[in-house]
Structure 1
Amino acid sequence: MKLTHDWLGPLELPDNARRIVSLAPNVTETLFALGLGERVVGRSAFCYRPAATLSLPVVSSYTRVRWELLESLQPDLVLISTGVQRELLFELHRRGLPVFPVPLPQSPYGILENIAVLGALLGVSEAATGLCARLNERYQALHRALPPRRVYLEFDLGGPITAGRGSYVDEALRHLGLQNIFAEHPQSYFQPDLAEVVRREPALVIYEPKPHRSRPLEKAQRLLAERGWKYPLVVTGGDELAHYGPLFFEYLEALVGQIRGLAF
C-alpha cells in the first residue's frame, strides 16, 4: 500500500501485513477488535487489552524499545501512536522499519477515524466500517445523557493532569452534557492549579487513577480530603478515559451510570 504521511512523507507498506508489532494500546485493542489478533507478534508493556495480548512478547515501554527483540520478530509492520511516541516514531523510521503512526484523536470521532484507517491499511475495511458504525451508535445514544453539571476531571499520571480545549476527553464530556471547568483552556492536557479548580466551583470531580491500583475509590476520597475538597466524586477503573481504543465508548457508558447513581 502506497500512501503519504504528513510527518514521514511517502510510505510503501505491505498490502497484507501478517507480522505486526503494536506499540500503542489503542492500536493493539483495535487490531483484536477487527479480528486480527493472530497477526500481532509483539506489543508494548502498556498493551494489556484484551487479555489475549498478555501472552505476546513485550517489545517496548511506551518510549523505549528492545531493539534486538523487535528485529528478531521480523515485523512487516510496526504500528505506533503520535504524541509522546513521536521521537520513537522517527527512530523506527530512521532504522528502516516499516512503521505507520496512528494519530492522537482530538475528539471521539477521531477514535473511529483511526479504526477506519487501520481497516484500510490492513485490508479489513468492511470489518472496520461495521465496528465504527456500532461504536458510533453507542456514542450517539449518550448525547446529553447527563445534566449540565460543571466537572473537574483529573488523571493521576504521577501528579494531577486535566484536559482542556482540543482534547477528545473534553469533547466527550461535552457530548454527555457535562461542562468541563477547563473547557476553554488553550492546551489539550496540562497540570492544573488546584486553587484555580476551587475558584471554578465544580459540582463533580471525575478522578482517574493509575490502572491496577487497589482500593482506588478510598484513595481518591483520601486525596480529596487532604485537599479540603468536599465535591461529589466518581472514580474510574483506571486508564479508561485516557484510553482511546474501541473500549473508550464502553467506559463512557460506565461513567454515565456512575454519575446517574450519585445523590446530588
Structure 2
Amino acid sequence: MTVKVFSEALGNYVEVPRPLNSIVSLDPAATEAIFMMGAGRLVKATDAFSYRPPEAKLVPKIGSYTHVDEDELRRHDPDIIFTSTGVQRELSNKLLKSGFNVYPVPVATSVGKILDNVIIIGEIIDKKKEARSLYLNMLSKINPLIGTIKQATRVYVELDLGGPITPGFPTHISDAINILGGINVFDDVDEAYFEPKAYQILERRPDLIIYEPKRGAKVDEAAVIERLKARGINIATSKIRITKGDFLAHMGPTFITEAMYWMQQAISSAN
C-alpha cells in the first residue's frame, strides 16, 4: 500500500509506502523531528550534521548538505529520503533523477514553519498522533515567551558559517526575536541569510550582539570583539552573548524548546 503526500517544493505528489521500513534523512531538522516522534529506528543513514538527538550520532553518516554517497544510499534502499529546500535543491533533483524517492522539507522561514514541518514529516512517516503531540509541546513552550522582552532591544545576530552571516526577515531566527519582543536589526532585509557590510551594522546600532561560532569552536567575548574590530566594527555600547555552535542556525524542534529560551535570557540580560 502507498499513500500520496503533496510536496510544495516539487509541485507534485510523493508516493510513500505503508508501512515505512527505511528512511534516510539528509536534513538535520527532519532527523531530529523523526527521532522525537519515536521513529528513530527507521532511520538507516543520515548526513554528517544530523547529531540531534544523541541517538542520531550512532546512525551511519553517508553525506553532507550538498553531497551523498549514492552507492551507500542504494545499499540502504530507503523508502523515502528527506532533504530540505534551499541549498539542497540541486541534491534533491539529482537524487530524483537517479530514481530515489525524495521529499524536500521546506526551509524554516519562521518559527511557525518549524511547527508546520513537524506535521508534514509526521504525515509522511505515519506518526500523526506523535506529530500532534510534539506540535502541541512546542506550542506550549512558545506561548509563555511571547512579548517577554519589554524593551525593544535591538539585536544583531552573527553566525560563523565559513564567514560572518546574519539572518534577515524570512528566517526562523528573526521571527523568534520578534516573538520574544526584541528587534532583529536586519529584519527589514528581504534576503534570508547574507554577509552584512560593517557600515550597515554600525548604522543600525545594536544593543546586543549574539555571536554563534562554528560547531566545536571555543570563542570568548574578547575574541569576538577582536574579530569585529578587524572588520571595522567597534560598538563599545553593545553587549555580547555567545552561543554554542550550530544552535540558533538549527531549524529542528529544539530551536523552540531550547534555543528560544536561551535567546530570551540573553536578550533580557542585555537590558
- Common fold: TM-score over 0.5: yes
**2:9/2:104 contact within 8 Å kept:** no
How many equivalent pairs are there? Answer: 263
The separation in 2 between residues aligned to 1:140 and 1:107, in whole angstroms, is 15
CA distance in structure 2 between the partners assigned to 1:39 and 1:256 by the alignment = 35
**Aligned residue type for 2:109:** Q
Deviations 1:23-55 (A, max 9, x none): 010011101100111111101011111111122
Q: Is 1:42 paired with 2:45?
A: yes
In the aligned structure 2, how far is the partner of 1:44 from the partner of 1:216? 29
Check 1:7–1:254 CA distance in 2 against 1; reply closer, same or farther (3 A cut): closer
- 1:238 and 1:145 map into 2 onto residues whose CA distance is 25
Aligned equivalent of 1:261: 269
Candidates 150, 168, 173, aligned match of 2:172: 168
CA distance in 2: counterparts of 1:82 and 1:248, whole angstroms: 18
Superposed counterparts of 1:172-251, under 5 Å: 172-226=176-230, 227-230=233-236, 231-249=238-256, 250-251=258-259
1:74-153 residue pairs with structure 2 within 5 A? 74-146=77-149, 147-153=151-157
Deviation of 1:190 after TM superposition, in Å, equals 1.2
Distance 1:101 1:186 in 2: 23
Q: What CA distance in whole angstroms lies between the structure 2 residues aligned with 1:203 and 1:162?
A: 16
Q: Assess if the C-alpha contact under 8 Å between 2:47 and 2:62 holds in 1.
A: yes
* Residue in 1 that maps onto 2:5: 3
Distance 1:169 1:76 in 2: 32
Equivalent-residue separation in structure 2 for 1:257 and 1:151 (angstroms): 13
SS at match of 2:82: strand
More divergent stretch after superposition (162-171 vs 6-15)? 6-15
Distance 1:196 1:210 in 2: 23
Distance across 2 between alignment mates of 1:45 and 1:111: 21
Give me the whole-angstrom Cα distance separating, in 2, the residues matched to 1:245 and 1:217: 27
Measure the CA separation in 2 of the matches of 1:60 and 1:232.
38
- Using the alignment, how far apart are the partners of 1:210 and 1:158 within structure 2? 8
- Structure 1 gaps, min length 5: none
Return the offset for 1:207: 1.1
Which whole-Å deviations, capped at 9, do the CAs of 1:131-154 have from their partners, x for residues lacking one? 100101111111111121111111
Q: Work out whether residues 2 and 11 of structure 1, in 8 Å CA contact, stay in contact via their aligned partners in 2.
A: yes
- Distance in 1 (CA, whole Å) between partners of 2:216 and 2:4 is 40
- How far the C-alpha of 1:7 sits from its partner, in A, is 3.8
Measured in 2, the distance between the counterparts of 1:134 and 1:170 equals 22
Superposition RMSD in Å: 1.5
| C-alpha separation in 2, matches of 1:78 and 1:187 | 28
Tell me how far apart the structure 1 counterparts of residues 175 and 111 of structure 2 sit (CA, whole Å): 7
Give the CA deviation at 1:4: 3.1
